[in-house]
């Protein structure tokens, strides 16, 4: 057994040494093959990369030349800047003109509003005066005034004295001046000895313009400033004399008196006639003002239309200028942007050219290094032949090792089988010994039990049947136990024989 173990250890050592040498050389070959393949691949890649880089360098050179031509066109930039500046100046002028036109239009619109307001005011005033004039004329000029015109129509009185004149003359103002009229005023010379009015009273004739036929009457009518003066001067009146106050109170020489709050129709008519004359004078002025306002309104409206047209034209000019500025600025921006982009791209292309040149130099250097490294690799065919011989030698060593291992394993298995069998026999002997001991103990117990039963049998002879059955059962049990004991003894003897044979075999 020890000799077989020694042979096995020697065979294993020889085999493992050969296997290690084979693995080492195989790994070295694989490394060299992989390195050679890698170097060859790197050479192919480097050659292809050099071709691509040289082509790229030619394209890059052409692109740089094109970009240099684009960035060098400064005249186009200058012209674009000049046109944009001129368009911006034109736009500023157009906007200023538009603002001026807008201000002129607003001013014209304000003038139009003022003219419209003035025209409306003057037209309203004219219409109002005309309506009042027509109403008064209709009142004062009824009938046929041209045939027998009343004297009142040819008289005028200072404003504020209409009531005084009306109350002083009364219905006499309706008499005509034409002596052919049934009722008329006849012209008579002034009275040389006419009595004077009381001191403090002014003749009414000083305040009235009218026919001379009324001079006698008017010279004897005095005007006082207040009612108190009238009452005070009443007693001083001479025959035929009268007093009137400015507010229309009346006193006559014979004591007849009329209060101021009772205006007469003549006074009202005088007031209306005075008002009619005033209205007609005012109406003429109002008509002139209305006509002038209307003419001014038309002029201002025409001016507004012209200003609006000018503003619209100015705004259109602004829009056109803005459009032109936007177009030129877009062109200017696009040109500047294109130039800036070209400059940026030119710089980037130049940097790319520098990187490409450096990359080309590095790639050529890598190609040279790969060629040199490939030349330094050993002859792989010779290495493969040596590995083949070594693999055959290792195969022979493996066969010897396997043979030694088989012989050793056979001896080891046989010894292990004997050991295992001895252990099984020892276990069986021990088992049968235990069974023998158990059978002997059972026989002893049964013998003792038999003795006890025989003793009991003697004591129980009056129970022959039952006892006989019990006796037979016990005898059967004793017989079975004896049979088991003999079988155990035979088995024990057989095991002892086998054990002896096994000992001899060992």
325 with 93: CB under 8 angstroms?
no
What pLDDT sits at residue 150? 84
Q: What is the sign of the dihedral through the CA atoms of 366, 372, 376 and 380?
A: positive
Range of the domain at 258: 143-291
- The answer to whether residues 114 and 297 touch, using CB atoms and an 8 Å cutoff, is no
How many other C-beta atoms can be found within 10 angstroms of the C-beta atom of residue 163?
Answer: 25
Residue 286: per-residue pLDDT: 82
* Contact yes or no for 250/257 (Cβ under 8 A): yes
From residue 461, give the alpha-carbon distance in Å to each of 27, 394, 446, 468.
Answer: 104, 96, 21, 10
pLDDT of residue 461: 62
Q: What burial class does residue 169 get, using C-beta atoms within 10 Å of its C-beta: 0-12 exposed, 13-18 middle, 19+ buried?
A: buried
In a domain, 470, yes or no: no
- Output the six-digit token pair for 107: 């001013």
pTM: 0.36
DSSP secondary structure letter of residue 150? B
Residue 220: what pLDDT?
92
Domain assignment of residue 260, yes or no? yes
The confidence score (pLDDT) of residue 234 equals: 94
| Beta strands 156-157 and 208-209, pairing class | antiparallel
Q: What confidence score (pLDDT) does residue 258 get? A: 87
pLDDT, residue 201, reads: 94
* Spatial distance between the Cα atoms of 79 and 85, rounded to a whole number of angstroms: 10
Bridge-based pairing state of the strands 202-203 and 257-258 = unpaired
Within a domain: residue 86? no
Please give the pLDDT value at position 381.
65
Judge whether 130 lies within some domain: no
pLDDT of residue 235: 95
Q: pLDDT digit of tens for each residue in the chain (506 aa)? A: 566 566 566 666 666 666 777 677 677 667 766 776 777 787 788 788 888 877 887 887 887 777 667 665 566 667 777 878 888 888 788 888 888 888 888 888 888 788 888 888 888 887 887 887 788 777 765 444 556 788 877 888 888 887 888 788 877 887 888 888 888 999 888 887 889 999 999 999 899 998 988 888 889 999 999 999 999 999 999 999 999 998 889 999 999 998 876 556 666 766 677 777 788 888 888 888 888 888 888 888 898 888 888 888 888 888 888 888 888 778 767 766 777 666 677 677 777 777 878 887 888 888 787 777 766 666 666 666 777 777 777 677 677 667 666 666 666 777 677 777 777 777 777 777 777 777 777 778 877 877 777 776 676 665 666 666 777 777 777 777 777 777 777 777 777 776 666 666 55
What residues does 157 pair with on adjacent strands?
Answer: 208
How confident is the model at residue 197, as a pLDDT?
93
| Interhelix angle 2-71/380-459, nearest 10 degrees | 130
How many CB atoms are closer than 10 A to CB 291? 14
**122 in a structural domain:** no
* Cα 463 from Cα 475, distance rounded (Å): 18
Question: Could you tell me if residue 378 is inside a domain?
Answer: no
- Cβ-proximal residues to 320 (8 Å cutoff; 6+ apart), any chain: 94
The domain tally of the chain equals 1
342 contacts 125 by C-beta, under 8 angstroms: no
485 in a structural domain: no
**Are 255 and 235 in contact, with CB atoms under 8 Å apart?**
no
Let me know if residue 365 belongs to a domain.
no
Supply angle C-alpha 268, 271, 277, rounded to 5: 140
Q: Which of 73, 247, 279 lies closest to 165 in space, CA to CA? A: 247
In eight-state DSSP terms, residue 182 is: S
Distance separating alpha carbons of residues 132 and 114, to the nearest angstrom: 26
């Amino acid at each position: 057994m020890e000799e077989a173990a020694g042979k096995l250890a020697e065979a294993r050592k020889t085999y493992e040494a050969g296997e290690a040498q084979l693995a080492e050389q195989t790994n070295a070959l694989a490394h060299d093959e992989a390195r050679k393949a890698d170097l060859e691949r790197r050479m192919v890649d480097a050659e292809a990369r050099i071709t691509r880089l040289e082509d790229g360098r030619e394209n890059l050179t052409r692109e740089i030349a094109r970009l240099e031509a684009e960035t060098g066109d400064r005249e186009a930039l200058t012209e674009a800047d000049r046109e944009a500046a001129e368009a911006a100046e034109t736009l500023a002028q157009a906007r200023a003109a538009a603002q001026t036109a807008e201000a002129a239009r607003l001013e014209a619109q304000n003038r139009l509003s003022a003219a419209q307001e003035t025209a409306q005011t003057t037209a309203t005033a004219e219409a109002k005066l005309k309506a009042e004039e027509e109403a008064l004329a209709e009142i004062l000029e009824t009938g046929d005034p041209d045939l027998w015109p009343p004297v009142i129509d040819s008289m005028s009185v200072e404003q504020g004295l209409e009531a005084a004149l009306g109350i002083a003359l009364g219905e006499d103002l309706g008499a005509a001046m034409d002596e052919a009229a049934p009722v008329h005023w006849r012209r008579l010379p002034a009275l040389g000895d006419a009595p004077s009015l009381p001191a403090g009273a002014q003749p009414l004739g000083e305040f009235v313009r009218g026919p001379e036929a009324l001079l006698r009457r008017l010279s004897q009518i005095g005007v006082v400033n207040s009612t108190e003066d009238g009452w005070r001067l009443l007693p001083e009146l001479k025959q035929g004399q009268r007093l009137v106050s400015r507010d229309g109170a009346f006193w006559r020489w014979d004591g007849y008196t009329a209060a101021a709050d009772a205006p007469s129709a003549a006074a009202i008519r005088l007031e209306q006639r005075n008002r009619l004359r005033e209205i007609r004078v005012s109406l003429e002025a109002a008509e002139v003002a209305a006509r002038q306002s209307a003419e001014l309104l038309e002029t201002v409206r025409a001016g507004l239309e012209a200003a609006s047209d000018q503003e619209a034209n100015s705004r259109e000019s602004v829009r056109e200028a803005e459009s032109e500025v936007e177009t030129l600025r877009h062109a200017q921006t696009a040109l500047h942007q294109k130039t800036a982009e070209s400059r940026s791209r030119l710089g980037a292309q130049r940097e790319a050219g520098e990187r490409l040149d450096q990359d080309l130099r590095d790639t050529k250097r890598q190609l040279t290094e790969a060629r040199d490294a490939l030349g330094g690799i050993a002859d792989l065919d010779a290495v493969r032949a040596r590995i083949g011989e070594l693999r055959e030698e290792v195969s022979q060593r493996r066969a010897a090792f396997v043979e030694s291992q088989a012989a050793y394993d056979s001896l080891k298995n046989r010894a292990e089988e004997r050991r295992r069998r001895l252990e099984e026999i020892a276990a069986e002997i021990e088992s049968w010994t235990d069974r023998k001991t158990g059978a002997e103990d059972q026989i002893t117990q049964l013998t003792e039990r038999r003795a006890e039963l025989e003793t009991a049998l003697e004591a129980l002879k009056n129970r022959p049947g039952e006892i006989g059955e019990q006796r037979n059962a016990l005898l059967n049990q004793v017989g079975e136990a004896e049979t088991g004991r003999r079988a155990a003894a035979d088995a024990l003897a057989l095991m002892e024989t086998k054990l002896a044979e096994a000992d001899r075999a060992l």
